[in-house]
């Protein structure tokens, strides 16, 4: 592709995702590579020009044993030209947003004009691993669960992120009732979005063993406060986190096109949104709760905007306590946060979530006619990220 003479404005042109499948359920037989390739193929059906984009940047967290550069594998399988380079990112849960940020920087620097971004993960197919390099001798050999080790375990504090988050819930005074209320909202809103066809703009069905999977499998229509209250805590008997108020383990992929605005004009395609900024934060500790809010505050500061300028906010529901802590820090009502549900209902396929959050926010921003929205999330090791988008039709 021809390179621009100067900086271009990066835009989110379009995007798609697979349905998100519950752990060991409908999508369990598909690898991360297959999930990613399916989403890439669907995107190219909409935007065939992206087969010859300037680069592919895809996130994946659980990569063990999957072969060299999974992003390249999914891209080529999905129909992207062999002449297009690909990069696999592992920034834990933040990876899909980081892929977007990388693409926007390249566009602003004039290094390229069009990038395929997003991420994928099959948590159902995360392998078990063992180190035999030095020989097992006469000792027994144990296996490591890479899903836990590489995806769900804080390597800095050497403990489950659930245990860590249970402790922070207590420290911040976020009780069980508040978390269950957020979980209920997640399922109710996701169900309403599914039933009204809201997710039809982003989900591309996938056929597995002759059966078509059309919707996210984690949405529980029968969820109530009573059913949530009956669940046992999972990390600490005296804690507040349950399987009902935490994100679901999930299989899925989401991908999209980040291009320069001039490219969108050349192709005659109206962008979903302008990408106005990205921020990434870390520390001062490995906790998760306040990182999305900190990232949102940073990206708004850089754009000279305030929380009041936002029509919508997406905060990844890694745990309900993260949403509540972020909402409190930003002083916003739950009414504008995760209006179509979140990972508690939809699921959280690690590398596949970051771009999904931005895509969902972009579609909803357009439907509502608002001007600005932000998508944010926390990441293992005590990090956070946020992407600020603007409706191209807002004034």
Cβ-defined contacts of 168-174 (< 8 Å, 24+): 168/287, 168/288, 168/289, 168/321, 168/325, 169/239, 169/240, 169/241, 169/289, 169/319, 169/321, 170/239, 170/240, 172/289, 172/321, 172/325, 174/240, 174/289, 174/321, 174/324, 174/325
What is the reported pLDDT for 2? 38
Q: Collect all residues with Cβ–Cβ distance below 8 Å to 332 and sequence separation of at least 6.
A: 307, 310, 313
* Helix (H), strand (E) at residue 254: strand 250-260
Give the mean model confidence (pLDDT) for residues 318-342.
Answer: 98
The model's confidence at residue 134, banded by pLDDT at 50, 70 and 90, is: confident
Asked if residue 322 has pLDDT above 90, the reply is yes
The share of the chain scoring above pLDDT 90, in percent, equals 94
- Which of 9-29 are b and which e, b meaning 16 or more Cβ less than 10 Å from the residue's Cβ? bbbbbbbbbbbbbbbeebbee
What is the reported pLDDT for 395? 62
Q: How many CA atoms lie within 13 A of 96 on its CB side?
A: 31
In 3D space, the residue among 33, 79, 30 whose CA is nearest the CA of residue 58 turns out to be 33
Known catalytic residues are 93, 348, 378
The model's confidence at residue 131, banded by pLDDT at 50, 70 and 90, is: confident
Q: Collect all residues with Cβ–Cβ distance below 8 Å to 303 and sequence separation of at least 6.
A: 276, 277, 388
The model's confidence at residue 141, banded by pLDDT at 50, 70 and 90, is: confident
- Please state the pTM of the whole predicted model: 0.96
Asked if residue 6 has pLDDT above 70, the reply is no
User: Mean pLDDT, the chain, as a whole number?
Assistant: 96
pLDDT single digits (tens) 200-223: 999 999 999 999 999 999 999 999
pLDDT single digits (tens) 56-99: 999 999 999 999 999 999 999 999 999 999 999 999 999 999 99
What is the reported pLDDT for 359? 98
What is the reported pLDDT for 31? 98
Tokens (6 digits) for 356:
């999904």
Give the mean model confidence (pLDDT) for residues 245-255.
Answer: 98
The share of the chain scoring above pLDDT 70, in percent, equals 98
Q: Are 49 and 137 in contact, with CB atoms under 8 Å apart?
A: no
- Give the separation between CA 203 and CA 359, rounded to whole angstroms: 11
């Amino acid at each position: 592709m021809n390179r621009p003479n100067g900086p271009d404005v990066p835009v989110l042109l379009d995007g798609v995702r697979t349905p998100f499948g519950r752990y060991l359920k409908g999508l369990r037989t598909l690898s991360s590579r297959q999930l990613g390739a399916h989403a890439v193929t669907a995107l190219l059906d909409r935007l065939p020009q992206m087969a010859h984009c300037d680069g592919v940047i895809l996130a994946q967290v659980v990569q063990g044993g999957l072969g060299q550069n999974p992003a390249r594998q999914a891209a080529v399988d999905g129909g992207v030209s062999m002449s297009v380079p690909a990069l696999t990112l592992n920034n834990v849960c933040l990876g899909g947003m980081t892929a977007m940020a990388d693409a926007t920087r390249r566009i602003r620097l004039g290094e390229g004009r069009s990038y395929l971004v997003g991420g994928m993960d099959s948590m159902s197919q995360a392998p078990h691993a063992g180190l035999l390099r030095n020989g097992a001798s006469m000792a027994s050999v144990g296996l490591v669960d890479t899903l836990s080790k590489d995806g769900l375990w804080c390597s800095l504090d050497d403990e489950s992120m659930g245990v860590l988050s249970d402790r922070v819930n207590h420290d911040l005074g976020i009780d069980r009732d508040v978390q269950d209320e957020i979980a209920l909202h997640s399922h109710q809103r996701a169900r309403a979005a599914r039933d009204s066809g809201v997710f039809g703009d982003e989900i591309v069905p996938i056929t597995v063993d002759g059966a078509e999977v059309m919707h996210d499998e984690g949405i529980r229509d029968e969820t109530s406060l009573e059913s949530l209250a009956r669940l046992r805590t999972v990390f600490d008997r005296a804690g507040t986190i349950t399987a009902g108020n935490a994100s679901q383990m999930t299989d899925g992929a989401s991908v999209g096109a980040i291009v320069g605005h001039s490219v969108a004009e050349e192709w005659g395609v109206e962008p979903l949104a302008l990408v106005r900024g990205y921020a990434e934060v870390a520390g001062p500790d490995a906790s998760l709760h306040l990182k999305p809010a900190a990232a949102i505050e940073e990206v708004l500061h850089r754009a000279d905007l305030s929380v009041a300028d936002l029509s919508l906010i997406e905060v990844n529901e890694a745990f309900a306590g993260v949403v509540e802590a972020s909402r409190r820090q930003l002083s916003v009502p739950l009414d504008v946060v995760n209006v179509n549900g979140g990972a508690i209902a939809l699921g959280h396929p690690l590398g596949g979530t970051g771009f999904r959050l931005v895509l969902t926010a972009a579609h909803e921003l357009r439907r509502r006619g608002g001007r600005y929205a932000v998508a944010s999330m926390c990441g293992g090791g005590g990090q956070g990220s946020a992407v600020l988008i603007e409706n191209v039709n807002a004034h």
